[in-house]
């Protein structure tokens, strides 16, 4: 199963990479250079458009490749299990005895899994500050990498909006022309528009019109001659590749916007995506927090108590500003010594009052 996932995700990565490259070619070469500059003679607009799309799409490619890298290495905890007596602050533990978690899955073989780390079954490693495993990247997204992840998610709708702005009306005209040509064609009517299966065969009613327009573009392609091979013809004449790109853009923009909004809300609440999903799934479950005695916090003695906290409690929520500051700060785990995640001080204070 793990192997199948890895192969599937590799396929997705290759597709995303190729689609982005195709998008770069259409935007920079076909729209910017061939259509705006050579065909329309709008030199300043053409250069500005091609320049912006060049920077935006290459940034997307670089960020995407970076986020795909280090599948078995990035943010993998390599710390020894600390002695209980050496821990000075409050920490999340696994049971009422205040024990720390170890991981026996895959190759982890009993190594320490620090708080907020998670074992990713697809990548086969434990990951510090795990947020979620992303199949589009074939890799985990961690809090350390979330800045680049957010940049990628924000760049996709911005690039798509700028990219489609000058050519969207033409693309929509071409789609409506392709639909009317395909509806008027006898063969298309017989094998696609009239039969009942066109309503359910590919993605329901939207699929009926998508396939119908594809058939129309095939018919329109047959009508083109050598004289139609002028600079900018990809935009001026109905071409299927432009509409395919529109379809991919809509899918990528919808996914990016949904992830961007949910990640923004999670960070603002001091939660990872995994924690949010667990809160939804584990309504009656609890977490354990070890709190050292008030008088001796910071000393080397380890007299304290373990409390149970409901999963709904946002134990790592430090407030909007601090949550974002923590995410945008430098990598906490760059140092040789483990840096413990800070717990919500209000919750710790509330727990202390229970004693
Ligand atoms: Zn593990
Ligand atoms: Zn993973």
Residues 277 and 327 in one domain: yes
Q: How far is the CA of 289 from the centre of ligand 1 (A)?
A: 21
Q: How far is the CA of 348 from the centre of ligand 1 (A)?
A: 28
pLDDT at 168: 93
- The ligand minimizing its distance to the Cα of 101 is 1
Instruction: Report which secondary-structure segment, H or E, holds 29.
Output: none
Length of the chain: 355
- The last residue of one of the domains, among 220, 238, 256, is 238
Structural domain contains residue 2: no
Q: Binning pLDDT at 50, 70 and 90, where does residue 84 land?
A: confident
Is-contact 262 153, C-beta < 8 A?
Answer: no
Residues 270 and 342 in one domain: yes
The tokens describing 205, both together, are: 């009613």
Residues 216 and 273 in one domain: no
Query: Does this model's pTM top 0.85?
Result: yes
Count how many domains the chain has. Answer: 2
pLDDT at 100: 93
- The last residue of one of the domains, among 238, 255, 276, is 238
Structural domain contains residue 306: yes
Q: Nearest CA to 91 among 112, 120, 109?
A: 112
- The ligand minimizing its distance to the Cα of 119 is 1
Higher pLDDT, 113 or 222: 113
Q: How far is the CA of 99 from the centre of ligand 1 (A)?
A: 17
- The ligand minimizing its distance to the Cα of 109 is 1
pLDDT at 330: 73
Q: How far is the CA of 69 from the centre of ligand 1 (A)?
A: 19
Mean pLDDT of 179-200: 90
Average pLDDT, whole number, for the chain? Answer: 90
- The last residue of one of the domains, among 223, 238, 253, is 238
DSSP state letter for 189: I
Which residues are in the CB-under-5-Å shell of ion ligand 2? 120, 122-123, 133, 140
Q: Nearest CA to 239 among 34, 15, 20, 58?
A: 34
Structural domain contains residue 288: yes
Q: Binning pLDDT at 50, 70 and 90, where does residue 205 land?
A: confident
Residues 336 and 281 in one domain: yes
Structural domain contains residue 54: no
Mean pLDDT of 184-212: 88
Residues 271 and 331 in one domain: yes
Residues 215 and 275 in one domain: no
Q: How far is the CA of 86 from the centre of ligand 1 (A)?
A: 23
Is-contact 292 282, C-beta < 8 A?
Answer: no
Mean pLDDT of 213-220: 92
pLDDT at 280: 77
pLDDT tens digit string along 252-311? Answer: 999 999 999 999 999 999 999 999 988 877 767 889 999 987 665 555 555 788 999 988
Residues 234 and 273 in one domain: no
Structural domain contains residue 56: no
Structural domain contains residue 29: no
Residues 232 and 179 in one domain: yes
Mean pLDDT of 130-140: 94
Residues 172 and 115 in one domain: no
Q: How far is the CA of 107 from the centre of ligand 1 (A)?
A: 7
Which residues are in the CB-under-5-Å shell of ion ligand 1? 103, 105, 108, 119, 126
Structural domain contains residue 46: no
Structural domain contains residue 130: no
Residues 234 and 292 in one domain: no
Look up the domain containing 196 and give its range: 168-238
Q: How far is the CA of 319 from the centre of ligand 2 (A)?
A: 28
Q: Nearest CA to 182 among 220, 214, 216, 156?
A: 216
Residues 283 and 350 in one domain: yes
C-alpha distances in Å from residue 49, one per residue of 24, 166, 167: 12, 9, 12
């Amino acid at each position: 199963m793990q192997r199948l996932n890895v192969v599937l995700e590799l396929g997705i990565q290759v597709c995303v990479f190729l689609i982005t490259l195709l998008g770069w070619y259409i935007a920079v070469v076909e729209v910017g250079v061939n259509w705006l500059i050579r065909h329309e003679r709008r030199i300043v607009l053409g250069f500005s458009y091609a320049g912006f799309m060049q920077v935006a799409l290459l940034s997307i490619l670089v960020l995407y490749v970076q986020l795909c890298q280090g599948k078995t290495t990035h943010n993998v905890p390599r710390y020894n299990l600390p002695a209980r007596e050496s821990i000075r602050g409050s920490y999340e533990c696994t049971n009422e005895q205040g024990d720390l978690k170890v991981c026996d899955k895959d190759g982890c073989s009993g190594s320490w899994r620090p708080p907020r780390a998670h074992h990713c079954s697809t990548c086969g490693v434990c990951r510090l500050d795990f947020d979620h495993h992303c199949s589009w990247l074939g890799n985990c997204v961690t809090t350390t990498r979330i800045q680049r992840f957010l940049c990628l998610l924000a760049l996709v709708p911005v690039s798509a909006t700028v990219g489609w702005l000058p050519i969207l009306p033409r693309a929509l005209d071409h789609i409506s022309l392709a639909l009317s040509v395909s509806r008027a064609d006898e063969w298309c009517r017989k094998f696609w528009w009239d039969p009942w299966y066109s309503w359910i065969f590919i993605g329901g009613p939207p699929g009926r019109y998508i396939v119908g327009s594809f058939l129309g573009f095939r018919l329109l392609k047959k009508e083109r001659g050598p004289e139609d091979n002028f600079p900018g013809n990809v935009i001026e004449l109905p071409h299927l590749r432009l509409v395919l790109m529109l379809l991919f853009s809509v899918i990528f923009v919808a996914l990016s916007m949904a992830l961007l909004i949910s990640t923004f809300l999670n960070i603002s609440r001091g939660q990872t995506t995994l924690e949010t999903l667990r809160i939804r799934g584990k309504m009656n479950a609890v977490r354990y927090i070890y709190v050292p005695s008030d008088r001796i916090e910071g000393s080397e003695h380890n007299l304290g108590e373990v409390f149970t906290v409901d999963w709904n409690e946002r134990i790592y929520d430090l407030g909007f500003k601090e949550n974002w500051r923590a995410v945008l700060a430098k990598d906490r785990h760059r140092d040789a010594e483990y840096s413990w995640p800070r717990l919500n001080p209000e919750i710790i204070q509330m727990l202390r009052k229970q004693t």
